Amino acid sequence: MAQYLLTYLRRIGDDYLRWAVCDDKSGVVGSHDHGSFADAAKAAERRKVIMVIAGTEVLLEEVTVPVNNMAKILKAIPYALEEQLAQDIETSHFACGQKLANGSVPVAVIGQGGLDWIMERCEQSKLTAAEIIPEMYALPYEEGRLTIMTNSGHAAVRQSISKGFSCDTDMLPLLLDNSVVVDPEAELEDPPNSKELIWRALHFSCGQDRYDLNTSEGPIQMHTEVALFAKGLKQGRALQKGQAIINLLQGEYSKTEAVGKAWKPWRLPAALAATLLALWGGASFLQYQALGVEQQRLQTEMASVLKRTFPTVRNPESDPVRQMKSRVKLALAGGAGIDDDSFIAMMSAVGAALGVAQEPTVKSMNYRSGRLDIELETVSLQDIDKIKSNLETGKKLKADVKSANKDNDRIKAKLRVESSS
C-alpha cells in the first residue's frame, strides 16, 4: 500500500502544519510531527502529499445545473451561487464533486486570495500538494448524524455527505441552530434544536479541548486531528466515485504541478524563442501600443454609456459590459434593482438592532434582490444573538448568522437579513 503524507493547516496565513505518514489501509503509520511548510516538505520524502485545511474560509453548498459535462458545470456553478455569496464571484474559487443521488452537485467555495497564499507557500517550500481538502470532508460520516470535531477552541462539523462548516467552538450552538432545516409541512410541535443535534452527534475530541459537548456516546478521544482525518479520508474514498471528498485543486489550480514538470526541459528552447520574439517584437511594439490606447478609449466610452443609462451605478469603470448585462437583465425581468420601500425599512431595522450591541462595527453591507448581507464586528457572541433577535422582533424580517469567528478580542460575523414572508 503506497504511503502518503497527510498534513493539516489550521489557519490560512500561518506557516505551521501538523502531519503524519499514512496509508489508506492502516491509517496513520508514522509518528505525528509539526513545523513549517519547509519542514513538511522534508518529511514528504517523495510521498504524495494531501493537505487538509481548516474550513473557516470555505463555504460548502449544493447546486442543480442542467448539464453533465464537468467543464460546463464548473462554468455554470459561480452564477448559480452568486445570490448565496457575500463576496464577488470574480474573487472566489469554485471546486465541485461528483453528482449526488438527488441530481445536485456538491460545491466548495474559497476566496482566491487564501488558496493563492497556500500555493505560494507550497512553491516557496518545495512542498507539492496533490490534493487540498476542506476539513469537513475529512471527517468520518454517518448518514443521519452530525460529526463534530473539537480541539482547543476550534470545531468542524459535517452535516451530511456534502454539507458542513467550521467555527470557534463557542459559536457551535448558534450556528447549529441556524443550520436546522425543518419541513414546513411536517407541523412539528418541537422542531430539532442544537442540544438535540449535539446529543445525537458523533463527537471526536482531538488534543486539549476547552469545550464540553453533551453527547449520547461521550467524546471519542483522538491523538490528533491528522489521525481523525486519516480515518475520514479512508472512509470517504470507499464511497462511490469518492463523492464524499472535494479536492480544491481544480480549474487553473489543477495545472500547477503538471506545468512545473513540463516546463523544466523546455527552458533552453524557450530562451531561444524569447530572443527571436524580442527581435521580431520591436517592429510590432508601436502597433500594440496603439491598440492599447484604443482599448482604453473604448473602455472609457462603455463606462460613460453605462453611467448615462444607469445614473445610480457606483463604479462604472469596473467591467462595464458585465454591469450593463446584469442591469438590463433586471430591467427585462421587471425589476429596477432595489425596492426602495423594502430597502429603507430593512436599513431602519438594522440601525435599531445595532443599537442593542456594545461597540458594533459594520465592515460592509451588500443589498441584492431583497437580501441584505452584513459583515460586522462586536465585543461578544451575545451581541450577535441580540442583533439577530432584535431584527426578528415582529416577525417581518428573518436574520441568519452565516458565520461567526473570534479574532483577538472581537467577534467577526456575517449576517443575512431578508423578508420572512
Calculate the alpha carbon distances from 217 to 210, 213, 234, 283 in Å.
18, 10, 23, 76
pLDDT at 259: 53
Amino acid, res. 12: I
Average pLDDT over residues 362-376: 84
**Whether the Cβ atoms of residue 28 and residue 113 lie closer than 8 Å to each other:** no
Q: Which CATH architecture has domain 1-249?
A: 2-Layer Sandwich (3.30)
Relative to beta strand 410-419, strand 371-378 is antiparallel
Judge whether 1-249 and 340-419 match in fold: no
pLDDT at 185: 45
CA-to-CA distance for 163 and 338, rounded, in angstroms?
31
Which percentage of the chain shows pLDDT scores above 70? 86
Closest CA to 99 of 78, 73, 133, 75: 73
Average pLDDT over residues 200-213: 79
Amino acid, res. 206: C
Confidence of residue 82 (pLDDT cuts 50, 70, 90): confident
Average pLDDT over residues 271-285: 72
The full set of domain ranges for the chain reads 1-249, 269-332, 340-419
Classify domain 340-419 at the CATH superfamily level.
General secretion pathway protein M, EpsM (3.30.1360.100)
Cell of 36: 513549517
Bigger pLDDT: 147 vs 317: 147
CB atoms within 10 A of CB 15: 13
CA-to-CA distance for 93 and 248, rounded, in angstroms?
8
Bridge partners (DSSP) listed for residue 148: 157, 203
Residues near 274 by beta carbon (within 8 Å), at least 6 away in sequence: none
**Whether the Cβ atoms of residue 134 and residue 58 lie closer than 8 Å to each other:** yes
Average pLDDT of the chain? 82
Confidence of residue 58 (pLDDT cuts 50, 70, 90): very high
pLDDT at 184: 47
User: Any idea which of 26-35, 273-282, 390-399 has the lowest mean pLDDT?
Assistant: 273-282
Closest CA to 250 of 83, 73, 10: 73
Residues 155-170 have pLDDT tens digits of: 999 998 889 999 988 8
Cell of 201: 452527534
Cell of 81: 451561487
pLDDT at 338: 45
Dihedral, CA atoms, 398, 200, 102, 403, nearest 10 degrees? Answer: 40
Cell of 68: 453533465
Residues 282-304 have pLDDT tens digits of: 656 767 777 778 788 778 877 87
Cell of 121: 507557500
**Whether the Cβ atoms of residue 350 and residue 416 lie closer than 8 Å to each other:** no
Bigger pLDDT: 42 vs 301: 42
Confidence of residue 265 (pLDDT cuts 50, 70, 90): low
Alpha carbon 47 to its chain's center: 28
pLDDT at 125: 94
pLDDT above 70 (res 209): no
CA-to-CA distance for 170 and 407, rounded, in angstroms?
13
pLDDT above 60 (res 392): yes
Cell of 22: 499514512
Confidence of residue 257 (pLDDT cuts 50, 70, 90): very low
pLDDT at 267: 64
CA-to-CA distance for 50 and 56, rounded, in angstroms?
19
CA-to-CA distance for 244 and 97, rounded, in angstroms?
8
CA-to-CA distance for 327 and 208, rounded, in angstroms?
52
Question: 212 — phi, psi (to 5°)?
Answer: -100, 110
Calculate the alpha carbon distances from 214 to 197, 242, 285 in Å.
10, 32, 70
pLDDT at 40: 95
Bigger pLDDT: 257 vs 321: 321
Average pLDDT over residues 385-395: 87
CA-to-CA distance for 126 and 21, rounded, in angstroms?
18
Residues 172-188 have pLDDT tens digits of: 878 877 776 544 444 54
Average pLDDT over residues 245-255: 86
Under DSSP, the state recorded for 234 is H
pTM: 0.64
Under DSSP, the state recorded for 186 is S
Alpha carbon 54 to its chain's center: 10
Q: Is 141 exposed, middle or buried (0-12, 13-18, 19+ CB in 10 A)?
A: buried
CA-to-CA distance for 73 and 100, rounded, in angstroms?
14
Alpha carbon 77 to its chain's center: 14
Average pLDDT over residues 262-271: 64
Pick the most confident of 154-163, 301-310, 320-329.
154-163
Under DSSP, the state recorded for 44 is H
Under DSSP, the state recorded for 421 is -
Average pLDDT over residues 30-46: 92
Task: Quote the radius of gyration of the chain (alpha carbons, Å).
Answer: 25
In total, the chain counts a number of residues equal to 421
pLDDT above 90 (res 213): no
Average pLDDT over residues 109-125: 94
Confidence of residue 35 (pLDDT cuts 50, 70, 90): very high
pLDDT at 197: 79
pLDDT at 143: 85
pLDDT above 80 (res 360): yes
Cell of 368: 441584492
Angle CA 358–364–368, to nearest 5: 125
pLDDT above 60 (res 334): no
